[in-house]
């Protein structure tokens, strides 16, 4: 028997320290929180996807009185991006959360299902998708969606 340690590399910085392309994408994700439909949780999540051709696609969480029928911001964004641009890789996904009248101090933390969908997006295009999690105190930048989901399940498990 042996123990192994699985490490994740992440860059922590302030939004102002991000390269301009990422700074601007975070601004779009932050704006998008205002379009969330979240009358039940009042937790506004916005996301913005930068595609390889320069397009920016956005999304926000969409809740429903039948709770499980709603969908997170990350998945509304990635599904819209992939459905409308099935051959264009997503280079970067930025996420921001707003609640109680302010953006969260901690970096946004995508749920497990969204992490799985991010991974699929990365896999289908065969290139890493950067993920930027906005927090008012600090942002996290992951170079690849797989860094957010160690010991993951992918199409390779089905071969
Ligand atoms: N939410 C997201 O949009 N993304 C996540 O990754 C976590 C949670 C939404 C779902 C729901 O509308 C609200 O935040 C509270 O869970």
Q: For all residues of the chain together, what is the average pLDDT?
A: 97
Return the domain boundaries, the chain.
Answer: 11-154
* Strands in 35-126 per DSSP E: 44-51, 56-60, 90-99, 102-103
The catalytically annotated residue of 74, 105, 138, 143 is: 74
* Whether 3 is catalytic: no
Q: What is the mean pLDDT of residues 111-127?
A: 97
The C-alpha atoms of residue 62 and residue 129 are separated, in whole angstroms, by: 23
CATH topology of domain 11-154: Cytidine Deaminase; domain 2 (3.40.140)
What is the CB < 6 Å shell around ligand 1? 38, 41, 43, 45, 61, 63, 70, 72-74, 110-111, 114
Task: Provide the pLDDT confidence category of residue 76 given band limits of 50, 70 and 90.
Answer: very high
Task: Give the pLDDT score at 89.
Answer: 98
State whether residue 112 is helix, strand or coil: helix
Task: Provide the pLDDT confidence category of residue 85 given band limits of 50, 70 and 90.
Answer: very high
The C-alpha atoms of residue 74 and residue 110 are separated, in whole angstroms, by: 8
Residue 155 Cα to ligand 1 middle (Å) = 26
Residue 3 Cα to ligand 1 middle (Å) = 34
Pocket test for ligand 1, best of 39, 41, 78 (most atoms within 8 A of CB): 41
């Amino acid at each position: 028997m042996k123990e192994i340690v699985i490490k994740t590399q992440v860059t922590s910085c302030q939004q102002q320290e991000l390269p301009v392309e990422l700074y601007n994408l975070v601004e779009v994700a932050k704006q998008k929180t205002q379009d969330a439909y979240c009358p039940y949780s009042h937790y506004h999540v916005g996301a913005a996807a930068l595609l390889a051709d320069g397009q920016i696609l956005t999304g926000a969480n969409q809740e429903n009185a039948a709770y499980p029928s709603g969908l997170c911001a990350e998945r509304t964004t990635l599904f819209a991006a992939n459905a409308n641009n099935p051959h264009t890789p997503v280079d970067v996904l930025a996420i921001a959360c707003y609640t109680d009248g302010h953006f969260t101090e901690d970096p946004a933390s995508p749920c497990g299902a969204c992490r799985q969908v991010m991974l699929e997006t990365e896999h289908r295009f065969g290139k890493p998708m950067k993920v930027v999690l906005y927090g008012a105190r600090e942002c996290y930048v992951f170079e690849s969606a797989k860094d957010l989901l160690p010991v993951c399940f992918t199409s390779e498990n089905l071969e």
